[in-house]
Structure 1
Amino acid sequence: MKDAKNVTITDSEWMVMRAIWTIGHATSRELIDAMNELEGWSASTTKTLLHRLIQKQAVAQHGGSRPFTYKPVVGEKESMAAAADDLFDHMCAMRAGSTIAGVIQSRELSRADIANLQAILAEKAKTAPEEVQCNCLPGDQTC
């Protein structure tokens, strides 16, 4: 699989990728039908996004003739992790905790997810600093 950190996916492309990840491999007709049902997109919109994903090497086209099948080249979990890392790399390190808390509060989580988060936080608490340092500007700046 291609390293997801090297692939930037737009919001619309995420919709197509989610369909491909869910199906595993899909024909353009399956994707067109799915995107039409989910988003009301035309066939040309879905084909354009699919072509962009192929150019970005996030999706591979298989088959010598129609119907072609399309398979993901980047993994779903890896892509989500890369997108989250990118987001957090662009914000002040001091704001990461409150941002994560906000995400947790706004999302539905299973009991297993919550137990996993609690275990991760308990382990992380063992070595956590009293305060995270601001990383916005060099020197002794603080947000």
Structure 2
Amino acid sequence: MKNKNLDTNISDAEWEVMRIVWTLEKAYTSQIIDQLKAKKDWSESTIKTLMRRLVQKGLLITKKDGRKFIYIPTVSQVEMMHQAASDLLNKMCDMHKGEVILELLKEAPISKGDLMKMTEEIDKKEKNAPEMVPCNCLKNGSTVC
């Protein structure tokens, strides 16, 4: 499912639909509607509109199963989350990205296994890390933001 340059410009409501389909791996229209109606006060037509938009954006495909439609993601949840996070970080000052990532680390629920992987990655990255990351907000590359 590797897909570069994903359109991560999806609404919060579209994220809700995608989370259901990712969790179920593939989902019938009725499953998506039932799950969203249990969580949100949305009409069936609103939910179907969200699903249609996600198909148009290429994030879901549909297959017919008799008289029913199955929705299948074209991108994994981790890929989409990574791309959305990268898009956001690319809008930020390079000098402050470490601080933001540290705050996210403090706030996010993270498994021991993922923490071990992060520690390994930090150990690798630390070997070549600069003393200070320069600001990239101004054209001349100021070191202070």
Q: TM-score range by the shorter chain?
A: over 0.9
Equivalent-residue separation in structure 1 for 2:141 and 2:30 (angstroms): 57
Aligned to 2:5: 5
Counterpart of 2:61 in 1: which secondary structure? strand
**TM-score, normalised relative to structure 1:** 0.93
User: Does structure 1 retain, via aligned residues, the 8 Å contact 2:6–2:80?
Assistant: no
Aligned positions, number: 143
Stretches of structure 2 that go unaligned for 5 or more consecutive residues are none
Equivalent-residue separation in structure 2 for 1:75 and 1:4 (angstroms): 12
Which residue type is aligned with residue 5 of structure 1? N
1:139 matched to 2:140: yes
Which residue type is aligned with residue 77 of structure 2? E
What is the CA-CA distance between 1:46 and the residue it aligns to? 1.1
1:106 matched to 2:107: yes
User: Does structure 2 retain, via aligned residues, the 8 Å contact 1:28–1:70?
Assistant: yes
What is the CA-CA distance between 1:64 and the residue it aligns to? 6.7
Aligned to 1:125: 126
Stretches of structure 1 that go unaligned for 5 or more consecutive residues are none
**TM-score, normalised relative to structure 2:** 0.91
Percent of residue pairs identical:
38
Aligned to 1:53: 54
The two structures, once aligned, show a CA RMSD in angstroms of: 1.5
Deviates more, 1:15-24 or 1:107-116: 107-116
What is the CA-CA distance between 1:117 and the residue it aligns to? 1.1
Equivalent-residue separation in structure 2 for 1:17 and 1:89 (angstroms): 23
Equivalent-residue separation in structure 2 for 1:140 and 1:85 (angstroms): 21
Task: After superposition, give the CA deviation of every residue in 1:72-109 in whole Å (9 maximum; x if it has no partner).
Answer: 01121111111111010000001110100110111111
Q: Which structure: greater helix fraction? A: 1
